[in-house]
Chain A
Amino acid sequence: MIYREAGQFKTSYRADQAVFPILQDRVAMALILLLAYVAIPLLASDYLFLAILIPFLILSIAAIGLNILVGYCGQISLGTGGFMAVGAYAAYNLALRVPELNLLAVFVLAGGAAALVGVVFGIPSLRIKGFYLAVATLAAQFFLDWVFSRIGWFTNYTPSGSVTAPQIRIFGYVFHSPAEKYLLCLALATVAAVAAKNLVRGRLGRSWMAIRDMDIAAEIIGIRPLQAKLSAFAVSSFFCGVSGALWAFVFLESWEPLAFDINRSFSLLFMVIIGGLGSILGSFLGAAFITIVPVFLNQLPTVLGIPISTAMISHLEFMIFGALIVFFLIAEPHGLARLWAVGKQKLRLWPFPH
């Protein structure tokens, strides 16, 4: 009844191609943005910012990046953690060695560095595909892990291998409180989402999807696999690099290479698959799910008052997490984004189903 587009006429190509063609969607989006930019900073507690909202936003950026590669271009990658690490260490070194550089420029350049590395490790995708490629991208993960833990230059020769990010100062303004950091991440996540949405709607995105659906056929209709695949790797790694830099600077503040190990890659892949392959909204939903569930599982025994040892909690957490993933894959293999789409479709007819 409330979600019905009857009477909304599109009178121009511009209106027809809008991201949100339906008025209700635009209103809902405006409300969500209003909530995120105004209400949450005023209301949320520091714990909520630090434990859930900031990691959720940063990981969403990485999930968008990975979704471009896996969901839109069909190239499975298990090296996301490595690309995030490239972003983090590039940002660290830029901020350390060129202190006069604006931090936003540092983040962008860090993304650029990750994009370059991503292209290098994307080259095998021209020859191999599917699981062979997935395993090959693990090479990137392990190699980059090794680079950052063994080559002292990247960590400025700190003996412990752990490095500390500088203060977050942009245009002379220091982002200090959790709410400020949250707003910074939110702004960057918004930019990332808008950029990604428009990329995948354009020529580049269409060439990625053609490659995903059938690469030989795409080649025959004139899409160059070299450019399509490598650009997907570059764009994806760019997002991951920016996200890695944020993860290190805003969330962790001081970190070691272990922060970007293979588990990070897997959890990002989970986000993308549970959220929905080939959907920007899905990246956010998946990131929210994977960020919230462990926090929730961790709290559950204390809330219920069951005395369990911490080791047991972590094992049970593993079990429940694994079972939940399998359950979600069985219940809806196309992810939360598909559930949302189905719900919307139902809502259009509600409450009169015909």
Chain B
Amino acid sequence: MGFFIEVVLGGLLAGVLYSLVALGFVLIFKASGVFNFAQGAMVLFAALTLVRLMSADLPAAHYWGAAAVLGIAIGYVVTLAWASFRPGAPPGRARNWGVTGAFAAIGLGLAVAFGGRGWQAWVAIPAAAAIMGLMAIAIEKLVLRPLVNQEPIILFMATIGITFFIDGFGQTIWGSEIYTLDLGIPKNPLFILESLFEGGVLVNELDVFAAVIAGVLVAVLAVFFQKTRIGRALRAVADDHQAAQSVGIPLNQIWVIVWTVAGFVALVAGIVWGSKLGVQFSIALVALKALPVLILGGFTSVPGAIVGGLIIGMGEKLAEVYLGPTFGGGIENWFAYMLALVVLLFRPQGLFGERIIERI
């Protein structure tokens, strides 16, 4: 019994990690109808950026560039905040650029002054987030905008192109070895429920930590989507692009925001996965594990991504432990897909997806 619970718990906690990746997919699919295959590559890129900024063996220019990007991001956020606190007096385009540029210069200057090597986590994480934001802007400008109104499969293929690009780009500028990411997250094995079972149940502290992070992330996203003005705009865009545009919601900005948020989620997933496995190319393949989670939970449902991840994680581990010996092992790779496929045969829109209504 204790062993069974241990397997279930281990599966659930592994499932949380799948959910984290699936979450990024859902966000983008909901808001732009793009099936973003690049989410896995974004996880890898975010993790690589973070771990390399924290190490000290890169050419100095990398740190300077990252510092400038971080400065631009801070400057941009400051001007936005300024504008929203003084709605009567818009600061004006020139001054916006001025403030943003000033912050960028300060960031660059600080990085140069301190030699800019081996950043602390509290600087590196915002810098990685800022770089993900910059990437979102680039993707929107260079890829999504020219492809607006194309068929979904064209956009899907474009994201596969982006995947290739980001994979190559990330490894070109950040290097392609295996890096260990140490943010001080505890990794010790932990015995719980010792009073109930003999020997207790073994879980990893890191997995528990990941579960907590995922919970916090989902809560933050829920609040962001439900309570803020941008969140409402996002939901409107998800509902109907054209209607949202006709009531004055700027579609392009919304897309940038969504991709940025997905980039942040990728960063969180990258931190967790990177701490667990080390930052290496195989992280990008985690995206393939998140796909069955998606079809199980439904492409458009945030709770679906979470519950789907839990089900897939648990099912996978149970199957590997109890069915694996019969089949000869290694069934983890496809079991999730088969499980999802069986569910789809009965519920074509996934567990939580919106009902598909077709009209002629």
Contacts and interface: CB of A to CB of B under 8 A. Distances in A.
Interface of A: 70, 76, 124, 127-128, 130-132, 134-136, 138-139, 142-143, 145-146, 149-151, 214, 216-217, 220, 262, 266, 269-270, 273, 277, 311-312, 315-326, 329-330, 333
Interface in B158-197: 158, 160-169, 171-172, 176
B163 A333 contact: no
Contacts of A273: 153-154, 157
Interface stretch (B84-92, B95-103, B254-262, B328-336): B328-336
Interface string B133-157: 0000000001100110011111011
Contacts of B153: 70, 76, 273, 277
B247 interface: no
A319 B172 contact: yes
B338 to A, nearest CB: 6
B243 to A, nearest CB: 22
Interface stretch (B12-20, B67-75, B218-226, B342-350): B342-350
A239 to B, nearest CB: 20
Nearest to B345: A127
A143 B165 contact: no
* Interface of A, helix, strand, loop or mixed by DSSP: helix
Contacts of A220: 360
B345 A326 contact: no
A316 B333 contact: no
A136 B151 contact: no
Interface residues of B, number: 50
Contacts of A151: 328
B292 interface: yes
B51 interface: no
A319 B333 contact: no
A217 to B, nearest CB: 5
12 contacts: A131-B35, A132-B349, A136-B295, A139-B337, A146-B330, A149-B330, A217-B360, A315-B171, A325-B160, A326-B162, A330-B146, A333-B154
B160 A128 contact: no
Interface string B303-332: 000000000000000000000000111110
Nearest to B163: A322
Contacts of B169: 315, 319
Interface string B29-67: 000000100000000000000000000000000000000
A143 B334 contact: yes
A134 B161 CA distance: 17
B305 to A, nearest CB: 14
B358 A216 contact: yes
B23 interface: no
